[in-house]
């Protein structure tokens, strides 16, 4: 049996890599889309095509792609950006509700809605960890809109904020992952008891175990809507309007417009991969050219940017204030998982947030190579080869950790073989 996949906002293919590692015979990507509106040259799409071929890969604004041109599929996957998900009522009530233009969540919503009874059984989505708290002035509103949208479309859902390093992976990268199941599907029907699903029976619970339920923090039911007639525009305006609550913890489930949430603690006893483990050795050191080393001339800049600060600065009106900033580990520690890769990781210019290590072989300070950044995200070596080093680092700053996807994929395969999908 196969699980046919549509991959939206594909980037350089992290979801596809992770799922195919889980079981390439089961997970079959039948259609993919990647488009970057701000650039003329479609670098990420170019890498995707280079690795996976042109067949059914669409490099076009997803908003212009008609839903009927997207094939029927079993699972929709994608990492969509954290944007403004607010909903407004249109001037013509006949037109109903609309989200802001350019917000990619509403393209996911449109595609699923247009598929009707042929909608995918499973949605597997990724976003930044701050999604649960955005926007700052109305915490949780955006995530509430997403959950209610999923409920309106006929899904139940579970979510988890996962730091890859907590489960032995080589990078401290926290992301929000959402799994939604059609209510009519076997998986959807099996989600009944919130506590059992969250801690023992759920896909996240099996793939990424957490410590047992602590009754000191009760798992309570919460309603997304404060009254039954509330639509998405009302929810957008009213949810946590006074901003007094932190509605969503790092784990939870949603069923029939209600949600249960819990501050989970990872339960992992396996091997931990460190930054030092991914550094190039032997033949791979051929990629280590002089421009990756920190020069003696630039070292003071790096020391300043990485160091602690308590210094007077001047406001635009001439007023003096003191700027305070804590120091960062410099060079980066090799005996633990790396810090989060950022999109500006590439380039030789000194930066507070770029990784700099003391090379364990030659003892010199240097930046990380593109191949090492790929390894921190658990991509194949040289997956992004063909673009310049700065662009390759940018890709990895935007990417997910493939190992997270693989673990989820393995659990879904297990469920499928057990007749649950």
Q: Which residues are catalytic?
A: 82
DSSP H or E run through 309: strand 309-314
Return d(Cα 229, Cα 218) in angstroms, integer: 28
Q: What is the DSSP letter of 211?
A: P
Q: For residue 150, how far is the Cα from the chain centroid? A: 18
3-state secondary structure of 386: coil
CB 15 within 8 A of CB 405: yes
DSSP H or E run through 409: helix 402-417
CB 335 within 8 A of CB 309: no
| Residue 36 to residues 39, 132, 217, 383, Cα–Cα distance (Å) | 6, 25, 43, 19
Hey, how many other C-beta atoms are within 10 angstroms of the C-beta on 234? 16
CA quadruple 97, 99, 105, 107: dihedral, nearest 10: 70
3-state secondary structure of 293: strand
| Bond prior to 135 in cis (omega within 30° of 0) | yes
Contacts of 169 (CB under 8 A, 6+ apart): 273, 337, 378, 401, 403, 404
């Amino acid at each position: 049996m196969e699980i046919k996949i549509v991959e939206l906002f594909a980037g350089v293919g992290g979801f596809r890599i992770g799922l195919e590692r889980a079981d390439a015979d089961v997970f079959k990507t039948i259609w993919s889309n990647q488009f970057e509106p701000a650039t003329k040259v479609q670098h990420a799409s170019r890498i995707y095509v280079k690795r996976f071929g042109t067949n059914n890969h669409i490099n076009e604004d997803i908003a212009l792609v008609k839903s009927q041109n997207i094939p029927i599929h079993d699972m929709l996957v994608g990492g969509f950006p954290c944007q403004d998900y607010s909903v407004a009522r249109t001037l013509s009530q006949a037109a109903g509700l609309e989200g802001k233009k350019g917000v990619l969540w509403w393209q996911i919503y449109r595609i699923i809605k247009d598929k009707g009874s042929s909608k995918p059984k499973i949605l597997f989505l990724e976003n930044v960890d701050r999604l649960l708290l955005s926007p700052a002035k109305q915490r949780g509103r955006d995530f509430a809109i997403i959950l209610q949208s999923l409920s309106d479309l006929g899904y139940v859902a579970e979510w988890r904020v996962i730091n890859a390093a907590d489960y032995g992976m080589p990078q401290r990268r926290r992301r929000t992952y959402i799994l939604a199941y059609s209510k009519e599907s076997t998986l959807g029907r099996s989600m009944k008891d919130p506590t059992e699903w969250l801690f023992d029976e759920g896909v996240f619970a099996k793939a990424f175990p957490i410590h047992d339920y602590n009754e000191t923090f009760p798992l309570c039911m919460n309603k997304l809507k404060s009254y039954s007639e509330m639509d998405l525009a009302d929810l957008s305006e009213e949810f946590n309007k006074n901003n007094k609550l932190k509605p969503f913890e790092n784990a939870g489930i949603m069923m029939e417009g209600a949600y249960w949430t819990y501050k989970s603690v990872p339960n992992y006893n396996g091997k931990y991969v460190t930054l030092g483990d991914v550094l190039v050795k032997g033949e791979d050191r051929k990629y280590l050219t002089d421009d990756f080393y920190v020069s003696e001339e630039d070292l003071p800049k790096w020391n300043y940017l990485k160091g602690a600060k308590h210094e007077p600065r001047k406001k635009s009106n001439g007023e003096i204030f003191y700027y305070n900033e804590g120091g960062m580990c410099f060079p980066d520690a090799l005996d633990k998982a790396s810090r989060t890769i950022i999109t500006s990781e590439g380039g030789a210019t000194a930066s507070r947030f770029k990784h700099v290590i003391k090379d364990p072989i030659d003892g010199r300070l240097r930046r990380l190579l593109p191949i090492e950044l790929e390894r921190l995200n658990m991509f194949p070596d040289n997956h992004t080869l063909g673009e310049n080093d700065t662009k390759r680092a940018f890709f990895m700053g935007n990417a997910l950790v493939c190992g997270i996807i693989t673990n989820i994929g393995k659990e879904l395969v297990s469920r499928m073989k057990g007749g649950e999908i």
